[in-house]
Amino acid sequence: MSPADLIAIYFYFFAALAILGALGVVVLRNIFHSVLSMIVCLFAVAGFFVLLNAEFLAAVQVIIYVGAIMVLIIFAILLSTRIMRRDIVQTNAYVLPGIIVSLAFLVTTFFVIISTRFVEDYHVPFYPAWLAEASEKLDNTMIVGWSLMATYSLPFEIASILLLMALIGGVVLAHRKEDD
């Protein structure tokens, strides 16, 4: 089995997993089970990033989407929905708009795919030769880490201030509710 075959197997595995997860989000009747299904879908997307050699993005996908965003959504459900009463009743009131929107999305995606020139069509590397040479030896996570410290150290520190603002804002808002 050649590496290309193996990559194709991985791709179809993750594609099937992503589609099944996304279907589960829509089809499952319990909203909490939908969230768990969404985790499967987002995890499969992390697999795509690995296949595209974007290892750092794959790690970010797992840490941010599977970790943080899904925790936020799970908490939103735990704190707001009365999930104990009954499962969410699924209605088919929006069948026609749903079909129109998804068909439009499908057609748009199709035309974007056939009109895009992919990397193989260019025959010119996208990045400078020294970077290509360096990335033979290094993970792109390392290159991202080095650029964070060397080139982008000020945005890096500003990011921590942004996180500080989010933390203080979240604590202040959540606590005000509790005092009532």
Partner 1 sequence: MPYQDYNWVALFILAGIAFTGVALLVAWLIRPSRIAFSKLTTYECGEEPQYTAWIRYNPRFYVIAIIFLVFDVDVVFMFPWASAYKILLFGIPYHFEAIGLPAFGEMFIFLVILLLGWLFAWKKGAFEWV
Residues near 33 by Cβ (< 8 Å), separated by ≥ 6?
Answer: 24
Q: Kindly indicate which of the ranges 21-29, 94-102, 116-124, 137-145 contains the residues binding partner 1, using the contact rule CB under 8 A.
A: 137-145
**Does 175 participate in binding partner 1 (rule CB under 8 A)?**
yes
DSSP state of 116: -
CA distance 24 to 46: 18
Q: Which of 5, 79, 122, 127 binds partner 1 (CB under 8 A)?
A: 79
- For the bound state, the minimum distance from the C-beta of residue 160 to partner 1, rounded and expressed in Å, comes to 4
Among residues 112 and 127, whose Cβ is nearest to partner 1?
127
Helices (H), 61-152: 70-80, 95-115, 119-122, 129-137, 140-150
Instruction: Give the phi and the psi of residue 142 in degrees, each rounded to 5.
Output: -65, -40
**Does 15 participate in binding partner 1 (rule CB under 8 A)?**
no
CA distance 116 to 78: 43
Q: Which residue's structure tokens are 């899904």?
A: 70
Among residues 24 and 46, whose Cβ is nearest to partner 1?
46
- For the bound state, the minimum distance from the C-beta of residue 147 to partner 1, rounded and expressed in Å, comes to 9
Tokens representing 39?
A: 């985790």
* CA nearest neighbour of 130 among 113, 112, 145, 143: 143
Q: Which of 26, 27, 68, 101 binds partner 1 (CB under 8 A)?
A: 68
Q: Kindly indicate which of the ranges 89-97, 103-111, 116-124, 141-149 contains the residues binding partner 1, using the contact rule CB under 8 A.
A: 141-149
**Does 176 participate in binding partner 1 (rule CB under 8 A)?**
no
CA distance 105 to 86: 33
Q: Which residues bind partner 1 (CB under 8 A)?
A: 3, 6-7, 10, 32, 50, 53, 55-56, 59-60, 63-64, 67-68, 71-72, 75, 78-84, 130, 133-134, 137-139, 141-146, 148-150, 153, 156-157, 159-161, 163-164, 166-168, 170-172, 174-175, 177-178
